[in-house]
Amino acid sequence: MKQIIISTVGVSMLRLVKDREKLKQVTGISAKKKQEFAEPLNHLIHELTEHALQNSSNPKLLGAEPNSLDKMNVKKGDQLFFLTSYTLEGILVGEVLSRISVPFWNVNAEYESVIGLQVHDVDYFCYIGLPNLVKKVSSILEKYPSHEYMRVFNTTGGFKAVSFYMTILGMLEGATIKYLFESSDQIIELPATPFFFNIESFYRLGPVAEKMLYGAIDEAELIWITGRSREQLKGEFNDILVWQPHGKVTLSAIARLIYIRLMQNKQGSFIFNFPKT
């Protein structure tokens, strides 16, 4: 069976860049400024691609992504997708990985920079990056049904937080999770695993769940909306709510991911059947 492999992408390849001055010019810059920094970016893409091609016989030297993919038996007919941070560094690595995929493994590959996928602003990651990540992954999987493709999430590269969410999302989508420690030669594999979650909690909580998808709310407001005391909320919704400092409440990490995925249900049955409050 052909594979569809979705890889999260980090920046380990950038340690191979020789022109450190050019690299400094694009470091920490949003992908929105791609055209403004086209000259150094294109220079670095060319340099890194040439370096990778010259070392194609030893992918381990090239970073987490080439090393892990080389050990996943990628072959002709497979399809690779690389999800990068919304930065010029992400574009740089994503472009290089896409370019070397044909000469390395004889497969087609493409990359996408995910808006909000960054580590500098936690709230921006949770409320913007995470929904966009789920949207990107879901749109890819829709084109590659599980009865025709083995669907694999390669979480070797990228931020640790992204790896966590991709693992949970893989369980929800029935995808196989694969990971390679950079210092190891063995792939760790988590087979497609059934995932139990009590969705009824969302129905009981009502539309305020969607409000918390975009940020934490005051505990007092949640008590007023739901008509439940603090003790009742903690007892009834301990599987989906977390209490933050300063009296704020929001969805747990797993609940947030599941809620985002359910909102994308094409039939809309989940989102439109919420009880009115």
What tens digit of pLDDT does each residue of 60-117 get? 889 889 999 999 989 999 999 999 999 999 999 999 999 999 999 999 999 999 999 8
The domain of 206 spans: 200-272
Which pLDDT score, from 0 to 100, does residue 195 have? 62
The Cα–Cα gap between 97 and 30 comes to 19
**Is the domain of 174 the same as that of 264?**
no
**Is the domain of 179 the same as that of 58?**
yes
**Is the domain of 207 the same as that of 155?**
no
CA of 43: how far to CAs of 18, 20, 26, 37, in Å? 11, 12, 11, 10
Whether residue 277 lies inside any domain: the answer is: no
**Is the domain of 204 the same as that of 184?**
no
Question: Sorting pLDDT into bands at 50, 70 and 90, what band is 272?
Answer: very low
Q: What is the CATH number of the domain that holds 208?
A: 1.10.10
**Is the domain of 52 the same as that of 157?**
yes
Please say if the pLDDT value at position 142 is more than 50. yes
Which pLDDT score, from 0 to 100, does residue 275 have? 33
**Is the domain of 146 the same as that of 204?**
no
Question: Sorting pLDDT into bands at 50, 70 and 90, what band is 19?
Answer: very high
β-bridge pairing 176-180 and 149-154? parallel
Q: How many domains does the chain have?
A: 2
* All residues at 6 or more sequence positions from 19 whose CB lies less than 8 Å from its CB, including other chains: 43, 44, 47
**Is the domain of 141 the same as that of 12?**
yes
Which pLDDT score, from 0 to 100, does residue 194 have? 60
Whether residue 108 lies inside any domain: the answer is: yes
Query: What are the pLDDT digits (tens) for 189-228?
Result: 887 766 666 788 888 898 899 899 888 999 999 999 999 9
Which residue intervals of the chain are DSSP H helices? 20-26, 38-54, 64-70, 88-105, 122-124, 130-143, 160-173, 200-205, 208-213, 219-226, 230-236, 253-263, 269-272
**Is the domain of 89 the same as that of 49?**
yes
Which pLDDT score, from 0 to 100, does residue 227 have? 93
Cα 189 from chain centroid?
18
The Cα–Cα gap between 116 and 110 comes to 19
Whether residue 25 lies inside any domain: the answer is: yes
* All residues at 6 or more sequence positions from 86 whose CB lies less than 8 Å from its CB, including other chains: 30, 31, 113, 114, 115, 116, 117, 118, 129
Please say if the pLDDT value at position 8 is more than 50. yes
- Give the residue from 190, 213, 232 where a domain finishes: 190
Question: Sorting pLDDT into bands at 50, 70 and 90, what band is 269?
Answer: very low
As a whole number, the mean pLDDT across the chain is: 88
The conformation of residue 246, written as its DSSP 8-state character, comes to: G
Whether residue 195 lies inside any domain: the answer is: no
